[in-house]
Structure 1
Amino acid sequence: MASNASDVLAVELLQKDARLAVSGELGRACPGGTLRVAPLFETVKDLRGAGSVIRKLLSIDWYRQHIIKNHNGHQEVMVGYSDSGKDAGRFTAAWELYKAQEDVVAACKEYGIKVTLFHGRGGSIGRGGGPTYMAIQSQPPGSVMVGFIA
Protein backbone atom coordinates (compact mmCIF):
# COMPACT_ATOMS: atom_id res chain seq x y z
CA MET A 1 0.00 0.00 0.00
CA ALA A 2 1.06 3.58 -0.57
CA SER A 3 0.93 5.74 2.53
CA ASN A 4 3.67 8.09 1.32
CA ALA A 5 5.32 9.10 -1.93
CA SER A 6 8.41 7.22 -0.75
CA ASP A 7 6.48 3.92 -0.99
CA VAL A 8 6.15 4.45 -4.75
CA LEU A 9 9.65 5.84 -5.20
CA ALA A 10 11.10 2.79 -3.43
CA VAL A 11 9.57 0.51 -6.08
CA GLU A 12 11.00 2.71 -8.85
CA LEU A 13 14.42 2.52 -7.18
CA LEU A 14 14.20 -1.26 -6.91
CA GLN A 15 13.51 -1.46 -10.66
CA LYS A 16 16.54 0.70 -11.33
CA ASP A 17 18.80 -1.23 -8.95
CA ALA A 18 17.67 -4.52 -10.47
CA ARG A 19 18.49 -3.02 -13.87
CA LEU A 20 14.99 -3.82 -15.03
CA ALA A 21 14.73 -0.35 -16.49
CA VAL A 22 17.45 -0.80 -19.07
CA SER A 23 18.14 -4.46 -19.71
CA GLY A 24 16.81 -7.98 -19.88
CA GLU A 25 13.50 -9.24 -21.15
CA LEU A 26 11.59 -6.72 -19.09
CA GLY A 27 13.49 -3.83 -20.62
CA ARG A 28 12.48 -5.00 -24.09
CA ALA A 29 8.90 -5.92 -23.21
CA CYS A 30 7.75 -2.86 -21.28
CA PRO A 31 7.09 0.55 -22.79
CA GLY A 32 9.86 2.80 -21.55
CA GLY A 33 11.69 -0.24 -20.22
CA THR A 34 10.03 -0.16 -16.79
CA LEU A 35 7.01 -1.67 -15.16
CA ARG A 36 4.24 0.79 -14.44
CA VAL A 37 3.94 1.38 -10.69
CA ALA A 38 0.35 1.81 -9.49
CA PRO A 39 0.11 3.03 -5.91
CA LEU A 40 -2.60 1.28 -3.88
CA PHE A 41 -4.73 3.31 -1.48
CA GLU A 42 -6.98 1.09 0.60
CA THR A 43 -7.19 2.03 4.28
CA VAL A 44 -9.33 5.03 5.21
CA LYS A 45 -6.18 6.88 6.30
CA ASP A 46 -4.46 6.18 2.98
CA LEU A 47 -7.57 7.09 0.98
CA ARG A 48 -7.69 10.44 2.77
CA GLY A 49 -4.07 11.08 1.82
CA ALA A 50 -4.20 9.72 -1.74
CA GLY A 51 -4.38 13.09 -3.49
CA SER A 52 -1.53 14.45 -1.37
CA VAL A 53 0.67 11.46 -2.21
CA ILE A 54 -0.01 11.83 -5.94
CA ARG A 55 0.66 15.59 -5.75
CA LYS A 56 3.94 14.96 -3.93
CA LEU A 57 5.01 12.39 -6.53
CA LEU A 58 4.12 14.61 -9.47
CA SER A 59 5.84 17.61 -7.88
CA ILE A 60 9.12 15.69 -8.16
CA ASP A 61 10.53 16.61 -11.57
CA TRP A 62 12.21 13.22 -12.08
CA TYR A 63 9.02 11.28 -11.35
CA ARG A 64 6.77 13.48 -13.48
CA GLN A 65 9.20 13.30 -16.42
CA HIS A 66 9.46 9.53 -15.93
CA ILE A 67 5.66 9.22 -16.21
CA ILE A 68 5.58 11.50 -19.26
CA LYS A 69 8.50 9.85 -21.07
CA ASN A 70 8.08 6.19 -20.15
CA HIS A 71 4.33 5.87 -19.68
CA ASN A 72 2.87 8.40 -22.13
CA GLY A 73 1.94 10.80 -19.34
CA HIS A 74 -0.35 8.17 -17.81
CA GLN A 75 -0.48 7.28 -14.11
CA GLU A 76 -2.44 4.29 -12.85
CA VAL A 77 -3.79 4.43 -9.30
CA MET A 78 -5.45 1.55 -7.48
CA VAL A 79 -8.15 2.07 -4.88
CA GLY A 80 -8.98 -0.87 -2.65
CA TYR A 81 -12.30 -1.63 -1.04
CA SER A 82 -11.64 -4.39 1.49
CA ASP A 83 -9.55 -2.64 4.16
CA SER A 84 -11.54 0.59 4.06
CA GLY A 85 -14.76 -1.36 4.45
CA LYS A 86 -13.33 -3.22 7.44
CA ASP A 87 -11.91 0.01 8.94
CA ALA A 88 -15.00 2.15 8.77
CA GLY A 89 -17.97 0.23 7.39
CA ARG A 90 -19.40 0.26 3.88
CA PHE A 91 -21.01 3.70 3.92
CA THR A 92 -17.96 5.58 5.19
CA ALA A 93 -15.67 3.53 2.97
CA ALA A 94 -17.76 4.34 -0.11
CA TRP A 95 -17.63 8.06 0.72
CA GLU A 96 -13.87 8.02 1.35
CA LEU A 97 -13.31 6.13 -1.93
CA TYR A 98 -15.39 8.72 -3.77
CA LYS A 99 -13.48 11.65 -2.25
CA ALA A 100 -10.11 9.97 -2.84
CA GLN A 101 -10.92 9.47 -6.52
CA GLU A 102 -11.92 13.12 -6.88
CA ASP A 103 -8.69 14.24 -5.22
CA VAL A 104 -6.45 11.91 -7.28
CA VAL A 105 -8.08 13.07 -10.52
CA ALA A 106 -7.66 16.73 -9.49
CA ALA A 107 -4.00 16.15 -8.59
CA CYS A 108 -3.26 14.54 -11.96
CA LYS A 109 -5.09 17.30 -13.83
CA GLU A 110 -2.99 19.92 -12.01
CA TYR A 111 0.13 18.37 -13.54
CA GLY A 112 -1.33 17.48 -16.94
CA ILE A 113 -1.14 13.74 -16.28
CA LYS A 114 -3.81 11.26 -17.40
CA VAL A 115 -5.02 8.82 -14.77
CA THR A 116 -6.71 5.45 -14.79
CA LEU A 117 -8.30 4.37 -11.52
CA PHE A 118 -8.06 0.64 -10.97
CA HIS A 119 -10.75 -0.62 -8.60
CA GLY A 120 -9.55 -3.48 -6.42
CA ARG A 121 -12.95 -4.83 -5.56
CA GLY A 122 -13.08 -8.26 -3.98
CA GLY A 123 -15.53 -10.91 -5.06
CA SER A 124 -17.63 -10.97 -1.90
CA ILE A 125 -19.52 -8.04 -0.38
CA GLY A 126 -17.19 -8.14 2.64
CA ARG A 127 -14.22 -7.60 0.35
CA GLY A 128 -15.80 -4.74 -1.57
CA GLY A 129 -17.52 -6.78 -4.23
CA GLY A 130 -20.97 -6.37 -5.61
CA PRO A 131 -22.61 -5.60 -8.94
CA THR A 132 -20.18 -3.91 -11.34
CA TYR A 133 -22.85 -1.55 -12.66
CA MET A 134 -23.14 -0.04 -9.17
CA ALA A 135 -19.40 0.64 -9.09
CA ILE A 136 -19.59 2.29 -12.50
CA GLN A 137 -22.56 4.45 -11.52
CA SER A 138 -20.81 5.60 -8.34
CA GLN A 139 -17.81 7.18 -10.09
CA PRO A 140 -17.21 10.87 -9.43
CA PRO A 141 -17.80 13.09 -12.48
CA GLY A 142 -14.62 13.41 -14.56
CA SER A 143 -12.87 10.46 -12.91
CA VAL A 144 -12.91 8.22 -15.99
CA MET A 145 -10.24 9.88 -18.18
CA VAL A 146 -8.62 6.94 -19.91
CA GLY A 147 -10.57 3.88 -18.86
CA PHE A 148 -12.29 2.06 -16.05
CA ILE A 149 -10.84 -1.09 -14.51
CA ALA A 150 -12.94 -3.04 -12.00
Structure 2
Amino acid sequence: MKVISVVGPKKSGKTSLVEAMVRSLEGRGRVGTVKSMPDHEIEDRGDTRRHFDAGAEVVLGVGKDGVTLSVSRGGSLDSALKALEGSGVDYAVVEGFKSSDLPKIVLGGIDVPNSIRMVDGGPPFDERLIEELVELLMTLPDYRSPEVG
Protein backbone atom coordinates (compact mmCIF):
# COMPACT_ATOMS: atom_id res chain seq x y z
CA MET A 1 0.00 0.00 0.00
CA LYS A 2 1.31 3.44 -0.97
CA VAL A 3 0.79 6.15 1.68
CA ILE A 4 1.22 9.92 1.63
CA SER A 5 0.15 12.64 4.05
CA VAL A 6 -1.21 16.09 3.19
CA VAL A 7 -0.37 18.66 5.88
CA GLY A 8 -0.73 22.38 6.40
CA PRO A 9 -2.29 24.97 8.67
CA LYS A 10 -6.06 25.22 9.16
CA LYS A 11 -7.98 26.41 6.10
CA SER A 12 -4.99 25.86 3.78
CA GLY A 13 -6.87 23.48 1.46
CA LYS A 14 -5.84 20.10 2.89
CA THR A 15 -9.28 18.52 2.55
CA SER A 16 -9.74 19.88 -0.98
CA LEU A 17 -6.37 18.46 -2.01
CA VAL A 18 -7.12 15.08 -0.43
CA GLU A 19 -10.48 14.98 -2.25
CA ALA A 20 -8.85 15.77 -5.60
CA MET A 21 -6.17 13.12 -5.09
CA VAL A 22 -8.74 10.48 -4.11
CA ARG A 23 -10.78 11.26 -7.24
CA SER A 24 -7.65 10.88 -9.39
CA LEU A 25 -6.61 7.63 -7.69
CA GLU A 26 -10.07 6.08 -7.83
CA GLY A 27 -9.60 4.31 -11.18
CA ARG A 28 -6.10 3.07 -10.31
CA GLY A 29 -6.94 0.88 -7.32
CA ARG A 30 -8.69 0.91 -3.96
CA VAL A 31 -8.25 4.16 -2.05
CA GLY A 32 -8.60 4.85 1.67
CA THR A 33 -8.11 7.94 3.77
CA VAL A 34 -7.20 8.76 7.35
CA LYS A 35 -7.96 12.17 8.87
CA SER A 36 -6.37 13.62 11.97
CA MET A 37 -9.15 14.95 14.21
CA PRO A 38 -7.38 16.07 17.41
CA ASP A 39 -10.10 18.56 18.35
CA HIS A 40 -12.98 16.18 17.63
CA GLU A 41 -14.59 15.03 20.84
CA ILE A 42 -17.12 12.27 21.23
CA GLU A 43 -20.45 13.84 22.15
CA ASP A 44 -21.25 13.73 25.87
CA ARG A 45 -24.71 12.27 25.32
CA GLY A 46 -24.38 10.69 21.86
CA ASP A 47 -24.52 7.00 21.03
CA THR A 48 -20.78 6.87 20.37
CA ARG A 49 -20.11 8.06 23.92
CA ARG A 50 -22.55 5.49 25.28
CA HIS A 51 -20.78 2.71 23.39
CA PHE A 52 -17.38 3.80 24.72
CA ASP A 53 -18.75 4.15 28.25
CA ALA A 54 -20.03 0.59 27.99
CA GLY A 55 -16.44 -0.54 27.33
CA ALA A 56 -16.16 -0.77 23.53
CA GLU A 57 -12.62 -0.33 22.20
CA VAL A 58 -13.78 0.47 18.65
CA VAL A 59 -17.10 1.89 17.50
CA LEU A 60 -18.09 1.56 13.83
CA GLY A 61 -20.94 3.46 12.29
CA VAL A 62 -22.54 2.28 9.05
CA GLY A 63 -24.75 4.70 7.15
CA LYS A 64 -27.47 4.15 4.59
CA ASP A 65 -24.90 4.37 1.79
CA GLY A 66 -22.71 1.73 3.37
CA VAL A 67 -20.22 4.33 4.61
CA THR A 68 -18.33 3.23 7.70
CA LEU A 69 -16.84 5.57 10.29
CA SER A 70 -14.51 4.04 12.82
CA VAL A 71 -13.65 5.63 16.14
CA SER A 72 -11.04 3.85 18.27
CA ARG A 73 -10.20 4.32 21.91
CA GLY A 74 -6.54 5.33 21.97
CA GLY A 75 -6.35 4.83 18.21
CA SER A 76 -3.20 5.69 16.35
CA LEU A 77 -2.17 6.53 12.82
CA ASP A 78 -0.40 3.18 12.60
CA SER A 79 -3.49 1.23 13.68
CA ALA A 80 -5.61 3.14 11.14
CA LEU A 81 -3.11 2.40 8.36
CA LYS A 82 -2.97 -1.28 9.36
CA ALA A 83 -6.78 -1.40 9.16
CA LEU A 84 -6.72 0.13 5.68
CA GLU A 85 -4.02 -2.26 4.56
CA GLY A 86 -5.98 -5.19 5.96
CA SER A 87 -9.01 -4.12 3.94
CA GLY A 88 -7.07 -4.38 0.68
CA VAL A 89 -6.49 -0.68 0.04
CA ASP A 90 -3.83 0.11 -2.58
CA TYR A 91 -3.43 3.80 -1.76
CA ALA A 92 -3.91 5.74 1.48
CA VAL A 93 -4.09 9.52 1.56
CA VAL A 94 -3.67 10.85 5.09
CA GLU A 95 -4.83 14.32 6.11
CA GLY A 96 -2.74 15.74 8.91
CA PHE A 97 -0.30 14.07 11.30
CA LYS A 98 2.42 16.69 10.76
CA SER A 99 4.92 15.00 13.08
CA SER A 100 4.56 11.51 11.57
CA ASP A 101 7.32 9.84 9.59
CA LEU A 102 5.11 9.61 6.50
CA PRO A 103 6.17 11.35 3.28
CA LYS A 104 4.29 14.65 3.10
CA ILE A 105 2.80 17.10 0.65
CA VAL A 106 2.95 20.44 2.44
CA LEU A 107 0.57 23.38 2.08
CA GLY A 108 1.05 26.80 3.61
CA GLY A 109 4.86 26.71 3.83
CA ILE A 110 5.10 25.01 7.22
CA ASP A 111 8.25 23.15 8.24
CA VAL A 112 7.63 19.43 8.85
CA PRO A 113 9.70 16.24 8.73
CA ASN A 114 9.71 14.17 5.51
CA SER A 115 8.38 16.91 3.25
CA ILE A 116 8.62 15.65 -0.33
CA ARG A 117 6.60 18.35 -2.12
CA MET A 118 5.56 21.90 -1.24
CA VAL A 119 2.37 23.22 -2.82
CA ASP A 120 1.87 26.97 -3.19
CA GLY A 121 -1.60 28.43 -3.09
CA GLY A 122 -4.86 26.78 -2.24
CA PRO A 123 -7.94 25.44 -3.93
CA PRO A 124 -9.01 25.06 -6.60
CA PHE A 125 -6.03 22.89 -7.54
CA ASP A 126 -4.93 22.49 -11.16
CA GLU A 127 -5.45 19.01 -12.65
CA ARG A 128 -1.79 18.89 -13.72
CA LEU A 129 -0.73 19.43 -10.12
CA ILE A 130 -3.03 16.65 -8.93
CA GLU A 131 -1.66 14.28 -11.57
CA GLU A 132 1.90 15.19 -10.54
CA LEU A 133 1.11 14.49 -6.87
CA VAL A 134 -0.56 11.16 -7.69
CA GLU A 135 2.44 10.13 -9.80
CA LEU A 136 4.70 11.09 -6.88
CA LEU A 137 2.64 8.87 -4.56
CA MET A 138 2.95 5.97 -6.98
CA THR A 139 6.76 6.18 -6.89
CA LEU A 140 6.91 5.83 -3.11
CA PRO A 141 7.91 2.53 -1.50
CA ASP A 142 5.10 0.53 0.09
CA TYR A 143 4.20 1.52 3.64
CA ARG A 144 5.78 -0.52 6.42
CA SER A 145 4.36 -0.11 9.90
CA PRO A 146 6.89 0.64 12.61
CA GLU A 147 8.30 -2.41 14.36
CA VAL A 148 6.97 -2.84 17.87
CA GLY A 149 9.80 -3.15 20.41
State whether TM-score is above 0.5: no
Structure scoring higher RCO (CA < 8 A, sep ≥ 6) equals 2
Q: Which has the higher helix share?
A: 1
TM-score, structure 1 normalization: 0.29
Higher strand share: 2
